[in-house]
Amino acid sequence: MIKNKIFGVVLLLLGVSSCYQPERNCANFKNGKFSFTAEVNGENLTTTFVRTDSIELDYFQGKVDTSSIRWINDCEYIVKKLNPKNMAEEKSIHMKILSTTYNSYTFEYNVVGGTKKSKGTAIKIE
């Protein structure tokens, strides 16, 4: 009898947890000012960017870059630098928002056509 109750509770918990979907209010992050910090060679470097529906301005180490934004759906978009300075910057980046909170989103990104994916978190500051 007790084994049946325990089995029932475990089954219920597994059923509820398997239905969990992370929150994805991606539309809240199409426009705004954001910051993203990444560790590069043991040093934390922060990029600030301002995004509208179709343009993104990136501010990094005293330089500004402009990129076009093409939304695939509410949670995925392609970023392409408008004035690339080398071959690496000519490649488009696929961005996918995986989950959101009130003021941040976790995303996955990779070079279009590439297989190596990285993750990060951007914080909305305005």
CA separation for the pair 71, 47 (Å, rounded): 21
Total number of residues shown for the chain: 126
Position 94 scores a pLDDT of 96
Position 25 scores a pLDDT of 87
For 23-124, give the CATH class. Answer: mainly beta
Tell me the per-residue pLDDT of 17-74, one tens digit each, with 9 for 90 and over: 455 566 778 999 999 999 998 888 888 889 999 999 899 999 999 999 999 999 999 9
Position 1 scores a pLDDT of 54
Give the pLDDT band of residue 75 (cuts 50, 70, 90).
Answer: very high
Bridge partner residues of 122 (DSSP): 36, 105
Is the confidence at residue 14, as pLDDT, over 50? no
Q: Do 124 and 104 touch, CB atoms closer than 8 A?
A: yes
Position 126 scores a pLDDT of 85
Position 3 scores a pLDDT of 53
